[in-house]
Structure 1
Amino acid sequence: MNPALVFEFVLLGAIWGASFLFMRLSVVDFGALPTAFVRVSVAAAFLLPILLWKREGGILLKHWKALFIVGLLNSAIPFACFSFALLAITTGLSAILNATVPLFGALVAWLWLKDRPNASRILGLVIGFAGIVALTSGKASFKPDAVSGIAPAWAVLACLLATLCYGIAASFTKRHLGGLPSMVTATGSQLGAVCGLALPALWLWPASNPGSTAWLAIVALGVLCTGVAYILYFRLIEQAGPARALTVTFLIPVFALIYGALLLGEAITPLMLGCGVVILCGTALSTGLVRLGWLSSAR
């Protein structure tokens, strides 16, 4: 990649790493479902004028059913799950669990699209899931936390449900929305998420008005971490290819850990770092970004 693309690549990792910080600052005042709803609403409002300016609204309307499903799987459910999880676990831990998205994507593609991985990629799946087990073993308690009232195990499971949804969404998009302009998929999915979250979010809307910090954080979450991030991500896919764009997943936990430590006073433990490396190695192998020559041709 040329220097300009490298800058955009690092910038995207920094922006998506900040999404966990902004979710943490928002969810305490808003609650999980309202946080997710406002996030996708702001993102949709940001992306829709760009879509209309590009005159791609007709394409969106033609594929609205599939885009609605993608919106639920790729935004509504994951954003709500991560918001819920951040009430009980740290931003760093949730970001490391988010790094398993390509891992679940490879597993879903294998089971659904029959994209059978070679032996090297299967080894990556095993290593990645072993890293998840090791990382979350200390969070296996279903005893409610004294502060949040949420058991850490439920928070971890919520993160893993979110990453599984991302993996399903990737295969669904490949099967049903292949060839669509990237802005149509991005905007349509956010509009679908708005529709899916509207009623439950309004039902659970906080009784007291959230503070200014929460509002600023959630606007940044929608505009920067969703709207601008989508534009950068699709630019990377177009100019550097999907395989290279996918590697931004490896940068997100790094930035999230730094933000959490500096701005929220969260601890970075050796276990988190060690298991994070194991998960990222497994992810790199399972997606084919790294290949073991002596296993790559084996079936």
Structure 2
Amino acid sequence: MSLRDLAGLVLLGAIWGASFLFIRVAAPAVGPALLMELRVLLAGLALLACVVALRLPVGALRSRWKQFLVLGTLNAAVPFTLIAASELHIPAGLAAILNSTTPIWTAIVSALRLGEAFPPRRILGLGLGVVGVATLMGWSPVPLTLKVVLAVGASLLAAVFYAFGSVYAARMSRDVPPLVLAVGQQLGAATVLLPLAGATLPDAWPGPAAVYSILGLSFLCTAVAYLIYFPLIARVGPTRTLSVTYLVPVSGILWGAIFLGEPITPGMVGGLVLILVSVLFVTDVRARAARSDPARAAAPGTAASRLRG
């Protein structure tokens, strides 16, 4: 991997980690549904402009609009909103760690839906993941109230939705260009979220911090992130790009500590280590390297690109 690609990978991890920071700032000001409606709509329009500029075929956006509604629901609208709702009650760093369980859930869903093997190595990884989440809960940086427990559950449920979205996106990616798939996902999610967002408009205009966070979440953490991600897939392959899995929660913790003053506790570090080790066991990166499919990995529902709030 060249220095340029390594820098791109680190930058991508930092950008996706920052999404949890932006959500933590903006969600209390505008509400989870409206925040995510603005995110996917603005990002979708920005990516659509890129698709048009690159003269990529956009016929699939019209002919497969029903599938994009399903994809947008599974892989953006529902999980994005769940994460935003959870960050009303838990720190950004904790939400980032919980989101890193996504590859574990994806392996489980793939085993159930696609008939993929679930050998003892993956079972061990699953067990480590459970211990990691339990460690986070037991040594939580916030008081373990009912709201916090429900928030943690919402974050984990978001990861489950990402897993189902991954399987669905993998099927669509066989004959739809990745960037077009990303546009369809965002615009599909915007359509699904529109009624809920309209029903939960805030009473007051958000302050500057919330506005900047919305813009950062939409353009930087979504649109720009995809434009970094797809060239990385093409240059270094899906397996190496998958290593961003390990960078996102770390950057999420650091951004929360630097800008929001969130504590970094031993429980967070211990839980993060256990979860990332479990991801290593469950995803079995070495085996994937021999059989990886670049087109499939480039879909917006794959392991690397799902790891944003």
Query: What's the TM-score once normalised by structure 2's chain length?
Result: 0.88
Aligned mates of 2:214, 2:82 — CA distance in 1: 16
Q: How far does the alpha carbon of each residue in 1:126-146 deviate from its partner, in whole angstroms, 9 at most, with x for none?
A: 2112212222245698845xx
Distance 2:242 2:75 in 1: 15
Deviation at 1:290, TM superposition (A): 5.7
Q: What pairs with 1:251-266 in structure 2 (closer than 5 Å)? A: 251-266=247-262
Cα distance change on mapping 1:230 and 1:117 into 2, 3 Å: same
Q: How far apart are 1:22 and its partner, in Å? A: 0.7
Q: Partner of 2:113 in structure 1?
A: 112
Residues 142 and 92 (structure 1), Cα distance of their counterparts in 2 relative to 1, 3 Å cut: closer
Summarize the alignment of residues 1-299 of structure 1 with structure 2, pairs less than 5 Å apart.
Answer: 1-53=1-53, 54-137=55-138, 143=145, 151-289=147-285
Partner Cα separation in structure 1 for residue 57 and residue 202 of structure 2:
36
Contact 1:141 1:153 in 2 (8 A): no
Partner of 1:294: none
Q: Hey, what's the Cα distance between the residues in 2 that align with 1:122 and 1:79?
A: 28
Q: How far apart, in 1, do the equivalents of 2:118 and 2:240 lie?
A: 19
- Find the aligned partners of 1:282 and 1:41 in 2 and give their Cα distance: 34
What do you get for the CA RMSD once the two structures are aligned? Answer: 1.7
- 1:253 & 1:205 partners in 2: Cα distance? 30
CA distance in 2, matches of 1:160, 1:185: 25
Q: Deviations over 1:80-121 (max 9, x none)?
A: 111111110011110000111111111110111111133222
Quote how far apart the aligned CAs of 1:176 are. 3.8
**Structure 1 residues 121, 143: closer, same or farther in 2, change over 3 A?**
closer
Q: Secondary structure at the match of 1:73?
A: helix
Distance in 2 (alpha carbons) for counterparts of 1:84 and 1:120:
34
1:118-175 CA-to-partner distances (Å, cap 9, x unmatched) read: 322222122112212222245698845xxxxxx0011101101110011111111123
122 and 7 in structure 1: CA distance in 2 versus 1, 3 angstrom threshold: same
Aligned length: 285
Confirm or deny: 8 A CA contact 2:138 2:267 kept in the other structure: no
Separation in 1 of the partners of 2:150 and 2:143? 9
Q: Supply the distance in 2 between the matched residues of 1:277 and 1:232 (Cα, whole angstroms).
A: 26
Distance 1:270 1:241, change over 3 A: same
Amino acid aligned to 2:35: T
Are the structure 2 counterparts of residues 237 and 129 from structure 1 closer, same or farther at C-alpha, using a change threshold of 3 Å? farther
- Render the CA deviation track for 1:21-73: whole Å, top value 9, x for unaligned: 11111111101111111111110121111122223211222222222211111
Paired with 1:33 and 1:90, the residues of 2 have a C-alpha distance of 19
Secondary structure of residue in 1 paired with 2:18: helix
TM-score using structure 1 length: 0.91
Distance of 2:253 and 2:173 partners within structure 1 = 34
The answer (yes or no) to whether the contact 1:284–1:290 under 8 Å persists in 2 is no
| Unaligned stretches of 5+ residues in structure 2 | 288-309
1:297 maps to which residue? none
Equivalent-residue separation in structure 1 for 2:281 and 2:102 (angstroms): 13
- What fraction of aligned residue pairs are identical, expressed as a percent? 39
- Which deviates the most, 209-218 or 177-186? 177-186
Q: What's the secondary structure of 2:45's corresponding residue?
A: helix
- Partners of 1:142 and 1:154 within 8 A in 2: no
